[in-house]
Structure 1
Amino acid sequence: MTFSVTGRLAEPVRYTDAPRRRDELLRRLRAAGYLSATHAAADLDVSEMTIRRDLGQLELDGLAVRVTGGARLPDGDGVPFELRTDRSAAQKAAVARAVAALLPPDATVALDSGTTVARLAELLPAGLTVVTHSVPVLTACAARPDLRLIGLGGVFNPATRSFGGPAVGRALEDIAVDLAVLSATAVGPSGVFCADPYDAETKRALAAASRSVVVAADGSKLAARAPIRFAPLDAVSTLVTDSSADDAAVRALTAAGLHVDVAGG
């Protein structure tokens, strides 16, 4: 029960304005990874039909995926990190091995969050300096005395098991990075995309601090969609994908001027 400063019972907050209501639904969805339509309707004091319409619009905008009883974040972003690690495991492993072969000796390398990059962290050659905001990458590299590790702080995101936000960008202002390895939710001729604005901000900061950028994305990402472009193709030196990628999609990216390395192809 909520009371106002006068001691009277306060009126519940009503989200009768659709854009404001959808913003609140998206905020809750990003915080938890999954949103129950029934619970959201009760909390926001609107009908379940209204919530379902809102979730349908968020899905059209590429910000959510409708599932039984509610919605989740796109491309598995609402699925626990450990479960996403098992998806396309062989393809991600192939991409990770191919990226590891591209890393310059004794370089300073920035590693993004994401399950493919987490696999890469297990394959790093000795002598690198690793800069990262990813907890799985930090954990893997901390056990390696032959690596130098620089951790980036910020606000923790349980869905990606990484830190993010403005603090990452500020920390990177004082670090010279030779190469950044970034993950992506989707890759196409118009650029490289993700599903979360805070994640996009972090990826842009990593790219801006680096002399060159490699995007590590299994073949499914070349057929995926996501709402937020964090880099145009001309900001990427190389895309590393795997042989499950659609040939036409690879040709389209190559025609757009991107160097594509197909692992196992």
Structure 2
Amino acid sequence: MESTPLALGDQRRMPAQVRHAHLVDAARRRGFFLVVDIAAELGVSEMTIRRDLIELERDGVLVRTRGGAVLTGASVRPAIDREEPAFEARLRKNQEAKRRIAEVAAELVEARQTVALDVGTTTHLLAQRLSERGGLKFFTSSLRTASLLGEAGREVYVPGGQVRGEELSVCGPAALEQFERYWFDIAFIGVSGISTEGMFDYSLEDSELKRIYLRRSAHKVLLCDGAKFHRMSLVKIADFAGLDLMISDVAPPPDIAAALREAGVAVRIVPPPGA
């Protein structure tokens, strides 16, 4: 179980040894953590956590990554997410990081391309960026994204099929058959999490369309913020072999970085805020 934030008085009195123990425990339970999250939990500055991480790395306990840390030499067990949070809740989580990922992803789209946009919050933010650009053909199973692009006057196509609940995604055999006929210049894929084993999602139905995007696109791009590292859910979409590029706000932990490198996937880290 995740730890709960300490009371304010406890935070102010917390000695370095207790913070260090909390950091090691967080890395052991989560596999990877972000400095900003731990600082908020402990009620201390991000600079304090970074100094702690320097000491722990010097002692050989943790390995710092861009924005966070992992255990040294550990075989990390991914956390399992069994329930799919509501779309709006996911959209609010790490929204700043997702917006920066979407900005960089938008730079990859060239004039007159056919663009496949997966369901998900980061791909929806990408659609907002691309809605200002004409001359593109968009294909998506997300009715939210299709509505956004349609209202902006863009050319957008959705498959026929069954609408899946709160996610407002179109799925089912008819949708799969229709999109299997197309060829896309570039596809942007969203996930619930990644581990060394590959990419994961909550939904059996949506995962089938993700695999079509991976099969039927010339260039495949994974959009993944750092909170999704070392996380799994119900369905494994695919391993990394079908990807060309991953865009994230922080560098992946060493074991995931090695898996991406072995699969030939390029990694692009977006600039920090204000850079």
TM-score (norm 2): 0.64
Question: In structure 2, what is the Cα distance between the partners aligned to 1:123 and 1:63?
Answer: 29
> Could you list the per-position Cα deviations for residues 40-72 of structure 1 after superposition, in whole angstroms to 9, with x for gaps in the alignment?
xxxxxxxxxxxxxxxxxxxx99462xxxxxxxx
Question: In structure 1, what is the Cα distance between the partners aligned to 2:173 and 2:79?
Answer: 25
Question: In structure 2, what is the Cα distance between the partners aligned to 1:235 and 1:110?
Answer: 15
Shift of 1:158: 2.1
Matched, 1:120 2:144: no
Shift of 1:173: 2.9
Question: In structure 1, what is the Cα distance between the partners aligned to 2:229 and 2:256?
Answer: 8
C-alpha distance 95-250 of structure 1, shift in aligned 2 (>3 A):
farther
Contact 2:193 2:201 in 1 (8 A): yes
Question: In structure 2, what is the Cα distance between the partners aligned to 1:113 and 1:233?
Answer: 19
Quote the RMSD (CA, aligned, Å).
2.1
Q: Which amino acid aligns with 1:161?
A: L
Shift of 1:254: 4.1
Choose which of 229, 235, 239 in structure 1 pairs with 2:242: 235
Match runs of 1:39-188 below 5 Å: 62=80, 64=82, 73=83, 77=84, 79-124=85-130, 125-145=133-153, 147-188=154-195
C-alpha distance 63-141 of structure 1, shift in aligned 2 (>3 A):
same
Contact 1:222 1:249 in 2 (8 A): no
Contact 1:186 1:224 in 2 (8 A): yes
Question: In structure 1, what is the Cα distance between the partners aligned to 2:180 and 2:87?
Answer: 29
Question: In structure 2, what is the Cα distance between the partners aligned to 1:231 and 1:247?
Answer: 19
Shift of 1:152: 1.6
C-alpha distance 63-80 of structure 1, shift in aligned 2 (>3 A):
closer
Question: In structure 2, what is the Cα distance between the partners aligned to 1:253 and 1:263?
Answer: 20
C-alpha distance 259-246 of structure 1, shift in aligned 2 (>3 A):
closer
Corresponding position of 1:203 = 210
> Could you list the per-position Cα deviations for residues 197-221 of structure 1 after superposition, in whole angstroms to 9, with x for gaps in the alignment?
1121121122222222111111111
- The size of the alignment, in residue pairs, is 192
Matched, 1:190 2:213: no
Counterpart secondary structure, 1:140? helix
Tell me the percent identity: 25
Q: After TM superposition, which residue ranges in structure 1, 4 or more long, deviate above 6 angstroms?
A: none
Question: In structure 1, what is the Cα distance between the partners aligned to 2:257 and 2:211?
Answer: 26
Question: In structure 2, what is the Cα distance between the partners aligned to 1:195 and 1:128?
Answer: 29
Q: Which amino acid aligns with 1:154?
A: G
Contact 1:165 1:202 in 2 (8 A): no
Shift of 1:176: 2.0
Shift of 1:188: 2.7
Runs of 5+ unmatched residues, structure 1: 1-59, 65-72
Query: Which protein, 1 or 2, shows the higher relative CO under an 8 Å CA cutoff with sep ≥ 6?
Result: 2
Contact 2:79 2:231 in 1 (8 A): no
Contact 2:184 2:218 in 1 (8 A): yes
Counterpart secondary structure, 1:122? helix
Runs of 5+ unmatched residues, structure 2: 1-77
